[in-house]
Chains A and B, each alone.
Chain A
Amino acid sequence: MSSKKLNKISSFFLNLKSQPMEIVLFVSASLSIIILFLMLFFVAREGALAFSRFGSDLLFGMQWNLESDLFGGFPLLYGSLMVTFGALLIAIPVGVCTAIFVSEVLPFYLRDPIKSIIELLASIPSVIYGFIGLLIVVPFISSFFGLVSGQTALTASLILSLMTIPTIVSVSGEIISAVPKTYKEAALGLGATKWETIKTVVLPISKSGILASIMLGFGRAIGETIAVSMIAGNQAHTPSSYLEAVYTIPSFIATHMGEAAVGSLEYSALFGLGLILLIITFMVNTLADTVVKRGAQHG
């Protein structure tokens, strides 16, 4: 530890006496960190137990059957990734285009109202999205494609993309608006059109920020529980098309946790699934962080 850091810490403690408010802040800040670590510790401990019990079966097994002690999570992992991928396939183009439109094309007085409307989408509780999916999208998909059931991976992807778009729009919108005005004016001054300016100046500069917003959207989509379990059909298999039902890890855990006896094999296997999910989101978040930092250094 450097002496500079030590100085900082000791002066912080010296100041404690005169600043009771700081203590409150310090306590609340450390509380959330402690809670995060406890959660990680708990899930990791229970999940590691699951992996020592079931090994790679939890990742690659196909069947989940209590009677025969089979706990295969592959269809669930497959379903989670499939639905998330589908959602991003829709959300990325729509989200990025919307972000460019809102921060570059829209006249100034419209930007803020439109932006707050899009951000409002993010604050709608996910169970409401589930309702809308169940009442509107599910019947539509079933009649449009002539399917027996409209509870498909496509339905889940559509609803998830709707939930992911606000994240992508607001984060990449911030990045795009942060491109210095002088750069754009220089490009325009050189005779570039508005579109050429966006393509050659704005987008290259905000590239990493947009990438980060996509990864945040990924985290949102893969962790979504209730909306997906209402509309995805919950069939634990590995479908080859988006018109079949899927089961995702979060909705599977939510469905099964209530009935799993504490300490049973199933309980432990569910924690194993949770650990897989946690590792995936953790990796993606870290990746997003690094990308953003590198982008910031460039800019």
Chain B
Amino acid sequence: MIALIGMIALLVVGLGIGYTLNSGTPVTSAEFPEDSEWRTGTINLAGSTTVLPVADEAAKAFMNTYTGVTVTVQGGGSGTGYASAIDGTVDIGMASRGPKQKEIDAGTLWLHPLALDAVCVVVNPSVGSNVELTLEEVAKIFAGEYTNWNEVDASLPDASIYIVVRESGSGTRGTFEEYTIDEYELEIDSTLVHEQSSNPAVVTAVKNTDYSIGYVGFGFLTNDLVAVSLAAEEGAEYVPATLENIAGGTYPISRFLYFVTSSPPESGSLADRFISFVLSEEGQDIVVAEGFLELPASCNYP
């Protein structure tokens, strides 16, 4: 009985001390006498769930560096990102696609690219050392309409296609399907595909399986795999997956990730500092850590 009471007492005392200590350290602007206005500010972000992990990590790092500021990040999708930036419900919207005509018409928009996202289609070297496919062919392969490589093209080997995909819900899978499967209104047949739960797992599976095809983020390409050159449509040029082509916007399964504001952020304001932080070296390290490409030093921003 004594032990029980003792334990409970310890618990209560511990919680009590923790509580008083916590509430006893007030965070005030007094610690930052100069330039204090933005140091106590709050900004809200909402939008694309693709950008969300980057913004979330960046917000944590930002708030660690500049104690006192509050950056809240919410999801909702690119549509929400644009809509809420236009109507002012958030300070910064997040988007993983360019604005649609309707969104451009709805109000002024300022796009701040923060990262590049590209998904590369890869095949096992047994398929060929230089494989060229159109997006439609890729879609039909993954949807199971082609089951043998020589149905796609007579020059490809006579062997069944072994399809490797990411689990449903994965961001890489989302980007990939948006540009291929969804574009041609096809569907993945879950009984035909082999699922792997990460980019490295897809690399291993495609590397070890003859006549296999899969897709990975650009940063995961290795020499053991053959990156497929893609053409947006029949007759268009086949574009190899290189950093220049992705940055130049010619590689078909690539896109910029954006922060969106309704007006150019005032210099020195919290929103401006946060965007600059994400574009800084530290911020771009977060971008890479989350599996995206850092912005190339020079490229034509769309």
Contact = CB atoms under 8 A, between A and B. Distances in A.
Interface of A: 16-17, 20, 23-24, 27, 62-68, 75, 134, 138-139, 148-151, 229, 233-238, 245, 247, 254-256, 258-261, 266
A151 B206 CA distance: 12
Interface string B118-152: 00000000000000000000000000000000000
B228 to A, nearest CB: 19
B160 interface: yes
Contacts of B208: 138-139, 149-150
A149 B196 CA distance: 14
27 contacts: A17-B1, A20-B1, A20-B3, A62-B191, A63-B190, A65-B187, A65-B190, A66-B168, A66-B169, A67-B187, A148-B160, A148-B209, A148-B210, A151-B194, A151-B205, A229-B197, A234-B196, A235-B194, A235-B195, A237-B192, A255-B167, A255-B197, A259-B167, A259-B169, A259-B170, A260-B169, A266-B169
B190 A236 contact: yes
Interface centre among B168, B188, B210, B211 (most CB of A within 10 A): B168
B159 interface: yes
A67 B196 CA distance: 19
B212 to A, nearest CB: 7
B199 to A, nearest CB: 13
Nearest to B4: A23
Contacts of A255: 167, 195, 197
B187 A68 contact: yes
A235 B3 CA distance: 55
Contact of A23 (B3, B195, B209): B3
Interface string B180-196: 00000001111111111
A170 to B, nearest CB: 33
A65 B168 contact: yes
B197 A148 contact: no
The 6 closest A-B CB pairs, nearest first, are: A259-B169, A237-B191, A255-B197, A20-B3, A149-B209, A66-B168
Interface string B151-179: 00000000110100001111000000000
Nearest to B165: A234
B236 interface: no
B30 interface: no
Contacts of A67: 187
Interface string B58-78: 000000000000000000000
Interface string B255-295: 00000000000000000000000000000000000000000
B191 A256 contact: no
B3 A24 contact: yes
B27 interface: no
A66 B167 CA distance: 10
A144 to B, nearest CB: 15
B2 interface: yes
A25 to B, nearest CB: 11
A254 B198 CA distance: 12
Nearest to B168: A66
A235 B4 contact: no
Interface in B1-26: 1-4
B37 to A, nearest CB: 37
Interface string B237-264: 0000000000000000000000000000
B77 to A, nearest CB: 12
Given A23-B4, A149-B210, 6 more contacts: A148-B210, A149-B194, A233-B194, A234-B194, A235-B192, A235-B195
A250 to B, nearest CB: 13
Nearest to A24: B3
Pick from B3, B195, B211 the residue with the most CB of A within 10 Å. Answer: B195
A7 B192 CA distance: 64
A259 B166 CA distance: 11
B276 to A, nearest CB: 31
Nearest to B211: A148
A228 B3 CA distance: 46
Contacts of B191: 62-63, 75, 235-238
A197 to B, nearest CB: 50
Contact of A148 (B2, B159, B169): B159
A243 to B, nearest CB: 13
A245 B167 contact: no
Given A16-B1, A23-B4, A148-B160, A65 B211 contact: no
A101 B2 CA distance: 54
Nearest to B190: A64
Contacts of B211: 148
Contacts of B197: 229, 254-255, 258
Nearest to B188: A65
Contacts of B1: 16-17, 20, 23
A254 B195 CA distance: 12
B173 to A, nearest CB: 9
Contacts of A238: 191
Contacts of B3: 20, 23-24
A64 B167 CA distance: 11
